[in-house]
Amino acid sequence: MKPVELGTNSNKEYKLVPPDGGWGYIIALSMIVTFSITFMPIAAFGIIYGEFLENLTDEASATGLINGSTLAIQWFSGIIANPLLQRISYRKVSVIGVIIYLIGLFATVFITTVNQLLVFSILQGLGTGLIMCSTLTAFNYYFVKKSNFVLSASYTTMIIICVIYPTLFTYCMNTYGFRGTLIILAGLSLNCLPAVLCLHPVKWYKKKKLLDAIDGKVFLDMGRKYLGLFLDPIYVNTSIGVSLCLASDYAFLSILPLLLKNDTIGAANATILLTIFYASDIIGRVLLATLNALTTISPRKLTLAGSILAVVYRIAFVEDNSFWWLAVCLALMGSIRCFFQINYPLIFVEMYKERFVTAFSLYLVVCGIITLLSGVLIGVVKTHTQSNIMVVHLLSAMYGICAATWLAEMFITRFIKKSL
């Protein structure tokens, strides 16, 4: 729960409120640096580890298992992050996360087996999860009215950085080889440490605001503890839906280089297609940031719309293998990623702002379970069908489940309200 401190000045009561800017922009910059860097191994997984896995096992199955396990641990880290954030500062939690992440990443330089890659990737996932929880908690403490716009702008900047990853790591692999690329990746990741050290306590920058009678009542209400989130069917439905969307999005991102890896497309065109995908992602995020600056739209409704469109675009994607067809489909798919990647923390800020840490941490547990199960399921589907297309259909179905359950919830809720 976001703390509000009371004080007096010339017989007037005031409360200390978040700066909604100021050092908060440094917090946003720190988030951009850490999230962009920790996202690199996932965004470039197929490029960096593709040949390594191909020489040892089935590439698609191993990719699904490793990325699924890594992301599952990343989300499960909420179990650890929540009690840590109750006892120590979010800056200390983020430093712990960076250290764990760096250990896992530097260790991958020496891998020789799939099991070693799996173990060290799980370490990276744990570290990333702690970084994510602590950084988003810090962000939530610093921003109130500007949170939607600043978060949208931050995520837009991240994807602008990510758009260079396919070209960058393709060049590194061709020039420095597999282990040389891993050393470069590990070296770049060292920038996470100074970034998280910028997560200063919000109490250093709080502003004074006069407290009226209404504010006093709100303050008393904010002091109450919230229990039983998992007994709230709307919270459970929301958490499962968001988890399905993110698990599907990350899984598709990790296997996308494999889907484009064939003689018909060619390596050069595959790189162009990946660049189109990320470039359209940038455009979508810029438009969403602009929209958030001009008006207020429910993040959950945007995610619902995105899940419906994702089903349509994914089905179209596997219908043809020509360059221009894939380019159009990838552009459309990239343009709606912002509906999931930007909105998922905002959904919990909107619905459970004053108990964000607990609500978001519990959601991470749900997301961890779903991500782990989806990773295993991807491997099973690929093993039994030997078809990447069936894997894409599975990932599309995950979006479809989110859309169906959320629409059902909205219909039932509206029906109950009309009946009362």
Per-residue pLDDT, 393:
92
222 has a pLDDT exceeding 70: no
Residues 6+ apart with CB under 8 A from 61: 378, 379, 382, 383
Encode 181-204: b = buried (16+ Cβ within 10 Å), e = exposed.
Answer: bbeebbeebeebeebbebbbebee
Closest to 29 in 3D by CA, of 207, 215, 214, 161? 161
> What is the C-alpha to C-alpha distance for residues 79 and 49, in angstroms, rounded to an integer?
30
Instruction: For residue 4, name the pLDDT band (cuts at 50, 70, 90).
Output: very low
> What is the C-alpha to C-alpha distance for residues 152 and 149, in angstroms, rounded to an integer?
5
7 has a pLDDT exceeding 60: no
Instruction: For residue 420, name the pLDDT band (cuts at 50, 70, 90).
Output: low
pLDDT tens digits along 68-100 = 788 788 878 877 887 888 888 999 999 999 999
pLDDT tens digits along 188-211 = 999 999 999 999 988 888 777 765
pLDDT tens digits along 320-373 = 888 899 999 999 999 998 888 777 877 887 888 777 777 877 888 888 888 888
Q: H-helix or E-strand containing 146?
A: none
β-bridge partners, 218? none
Per-residue pLDDT, 419:
75
The listed range with the strongest mean pLDDT (57-66, 138-147, 159-168, 302-311) is: 302-311
Sheet strands side by side (includes 207-210):
5-9, 12-17, 207-210
* CATH number of the domain that residue 131 is part of: 1.20.1250.20
Question: Mean pLDDT throughout 253-265?
Answer: 77
End-to-end Cα distance, the chain: 32
260 has a pLDDT exceeding 70: yes
Per-residue pLDDT, 5:
52
Question: Mean pLDDT throughout 389-415?
Answer: 92
Mean pLDDT, all residues of the chain: 82
Per-residue pLDDT, 379:
79
User: How many structural domains are present in the chain?
Assistant: 1
- Contact call for residues 392 and 318 (beta carbons, < 8 A): yes
Per-residue pLDDT, 241:
93
Question: Mean pLDDT throughout 22-27?
Answer: 89
Per-residue pLDDT, 218:
40
For residue 410 the two structure tokens come to 């909205």
Q: Is this structure's pTM higher than 0.75?
A: no
Residues 6+ apart with CB under 8 A from 420: none
13 has a pLDDT exceeding 70: no
Per-residue pLDDT, 208:
74
Full residue range of the structural domain in which residue 92 is found: 5-419
> What is the C-alpha to C-alpha distance for residues 16 and 325, in angstroms, rounded to an integer?
55
